[in-house]
Amino acid sequence: MPRSAPDNLEIQVAFAEYDRQETIRNFKVACVIGMTLMPAGVVLDRFVYPAQAVYFLKLRLLCALLIGLFLALLLTPVGHKHYRFQGVLLFMLPASFIAWMIYATEGALSPYYAGLNVVLLVLAYVLHWTFRESLSTSGLVIALYFAACFLHGPIHRAEAGLFVNNLYFLVLTGIITITGSYFHSKARFREFALRFELDRNRKALEESNQKLLELDQIKGR
C-alpha cells in the first residue's frame, strides 16, 4: 500500500535537521569571511586613521583569532549541539570590535559605522537566519552603535545630522535584513517540504515497482 502523506510534524523534524546542517555550513563560510576581512581592514585604517593603524591591527588580529577559536569549537559535538547560540556569538564578535573602533576614533563622526552595515549584510546573505534571530541581532548592532557614539562623548549639534544619517542607514539595512530573513525562511521551508514529499513519493513508487517485479517473477516461475 502507498505510504500516507507526511504530516506537518514529520516535515518540521526533518527540516530542523536539514536547517542545522545548512546553518553550520553557513557559519563556516562566515568564519572564513570574518577571519579574512577583519585583518584586511588595516589597509583602510592606514588611510583613514594612520595614527591608530597599529592599534587597530592588533584589534583586528584578535578578532580574527577569536573567530578562529569559534570555528574550532563549532566543529566539535558541543558546537553542533549549541550552534544557534554560537551563531549569535560569531555575529557579535566583528560587530563589537567595529563598535569599539567607532568609540576609539570619532564616535558619531566615525565612518566606520559602514562596517556594521557590512556585518548586517553578511547576516542577510550568508547566515540565512530566522526572523527572530535577525530581529534580535539587528537590534544588538544598533545598540552597539548607540553605545559607541554616546560613550565616546556627548553628540553636539553639529554632529547630530551625521549621527542621524548613519543611524538611518543602519536601521534601514536592519529592516531589509529582517524582512528578507522572514520571507526567505518561509520560502526555504516550503521548498524543503515539497522536496521531502516528492522524495517520499519516489521511494514509495520504487518500493511498489519492486514488489510488482517480484510478483511477476513469482508468476513466471
Would you state the pLDDT for residue 141?
92
> Distance (Å, rounded) from C-alpha 193 to C-alpha 14?
9
Would you state the pLDDT for residue 7?
65
Regarding predicted confidence, which is higher, 13 or 99? 99
- Per cent of the chain over pLDDT 70 is 96
| All three cell numbers of 197 | 514529499
Q: How confident is the model at residue 219 (pLDDT cuts 50, 70, 90)?
A: confident
pLDDT above 60: residue 8 = yes
Average pLDDT of 116-132?
82
- Per cent of the chain over pLDDT 90 is 38
User: Please, what is the angle between helix 131-152 and helix 83-104, to 10°?
Assistant: 20
Would you state the pLDDT for residue 166?
93
Q: Could you identify the residue written with the cell 517473477?
A: 217
* pTM of the entire predicted model: 0.81
Regarding predicted confidence, which is higher, 128 or 49? 49
Average pLDDT of 4-24?
77
State the average pLDDT for the chain.
86
CA separation (Å) from 104 to 57, 113, 135? 13, 12, 27
Would you state the pLDDT for residue 6?
54
Do 177 and 120 contact (CB within 8 A), yes or no?
yes
> Distance (Å, rounded) from C-alpha 1 to C-alpha 26?
40
Would you state the pLDDT for residue 3?
47
Render pLDDT for 184-203 as a digit per residue (tens, 0 to 9).
888 888 888 888 888 888 88
78 half-sphere exposure, CB direction, 13 A CA radius: 4
Render pLDDT for 58-104 as a digit per residue (tens, 0 to 9).
999 999 999 999 888 888 888 777 777 777 778 889 999 999 999 99
Would you state the pLDDT for residue 75?
82
> Distance (Å, rounded) from C-alpha 137 to C-alpha 129?
10
Average pLDDT of 152-175?
90
> Distance (Å, rounded) from C-alpha 118 to C-alpha 14?
32
139 half-sphere exposure, CB direction, 13 A CA radius: 6
